[in-house]
Structure 1
């Protein structure tokens, strides 16, 4: 376990290798789960603020579910989450011509329509954040089957999870946090190197 101030980072975040392989997983994390994407209170406000701008990127089914369930809903286990279509695809997701699930919120962001990329829980996947009263847990939780191609690609490229996710880690915790984590990771691997 790596401790940086009140943030506890699982060793797997620096040890495991991972690169999303969308050609193989097809963005399945956007429809394979126990609930929609977890949201922070601020992100509920972002959805409300930008909904009109990213609604055109959504599917008719997604729009219908938002009208039925709301733009976000309360889950007893996960807190505030995005709604899903029949317990599957996130209402904000759509499939591109290659059958890969994309995020309507992110599509609007990439086209300069809004200034918010997407929920941080989506951006950080397969890292999951758990907030305690006095600490924040940062764990590596890939899907067993769905993420196998990403784990294989990460191993082939020798890409640690935290480096692949540098942008969302900096977005959530700041650049200084990332730089500290990177330095600890270097020291961590050096300490575990043979003949030392």
Structure 2
């Protein structure tokens, strides 16, 4: 693990390659899984407000689930998550003509209906935020359904942290992201045996 601004980072963020490939996965992350998307405590009011603004964009099944269970629910771990449609897809999921799952909350944001895009857990995926006693941690979450994204990332040579430059900058700031670039350079130089001392010597 690497510490940046009191946040612990998994080295996998600098090692794994990842670029979402919706043509291949069809937005499976909105559909698969046994629980909804994590919602932070400071997001519950935002998702409640956004629901009213994007309700007309959602599918009848999704609206029914939200009206029944609420804009967010508490899962078996005691965490806030989005509700599911009969234990399947996220209630905020919409499908385009090709059958690709997309986020109704994000669609509302793109249309200018809301000022809040979607839960940060979705924006930051495949990074998951861990909450330790004294620190946060940022970890790479590996999921079989994201194999196309790993293949696409490898083909394009895009590391996880760079794929998520926008969401990471939004949450933690530009200075934090710049430190990630510096960490990546150090790790790359270390791997290549190019770490330099002040006198210019290398190891």
Task: Report if TM-score (shorter chain) is over 0.5.
Answer: yes
* Secondary structure in structure 1 of the residue aligned to 2:170: helix
| Alpha-carbon distance, 1:76 to partner | 2.7
Please give the alpha-carbon distance, in whole angstroms, between the structure 1 residues aligned to 2:141 and 2:50.
29
| Alpha-carbon distance, 1:108 to partner | 0.6
Instruction: Output aligned runs, 1:123-142, within 5 Å.
Output: 123-142=123-142
Please give the alpha-carbon distance, in whole angstroms, between the structure 1 residues aligned to 2:71 and 2:185.
42
Instruction: Output aligned runs, 1:47-126, within 5 Å.
Output: 47-77=47-77, 79-126=79-126
| Alpha-carbon distance, 1:2 to partner | 1.2
Structure 1: unaligned runs, 5 residues or longer:
none
Please give the alpha-carbon distance, in whole angstroms, between the structure 2 residues aligned to 1:102 and 1:59.
12
How does the TM-score come out when normalised to structure 2? 0.92
User: CA contact under 8 A between 1:38 and 1:78: conserved in structure 2?
Assistant: no
The alignment covers a number of residue pairs equal to 195
Please give the alpha-carbon distance, in whole angstroms, between the structure 1 residues aligned to 2:51 and 2:69.
15
* Secondary structure in structure 1 of the residue aligned to 2:3: strand
Which residue matches 1:169? 168
Please give the alpha-carbon distance, in whole angstroms, between the structure 2 residues aligned to 1:131 and 1:78.
14
| Alpha-carbon distance, 1:133 to partner | 2.4
Instruction: Output aligned runs, 1:31-50, within 5 Å.
Output: 31-50=31-50
| Alpha-carbon distance, 1:194 to partner | 5.1
Which of structure 1's runs of 4+ aligned residues deviate more than 2 A?
none
Distance 1:112 1:95, change over 3 A: same
Structure 2: unaligned runs, 5 residues or longer:
195-202
Which structure has the larger Rg?
Answer: 2
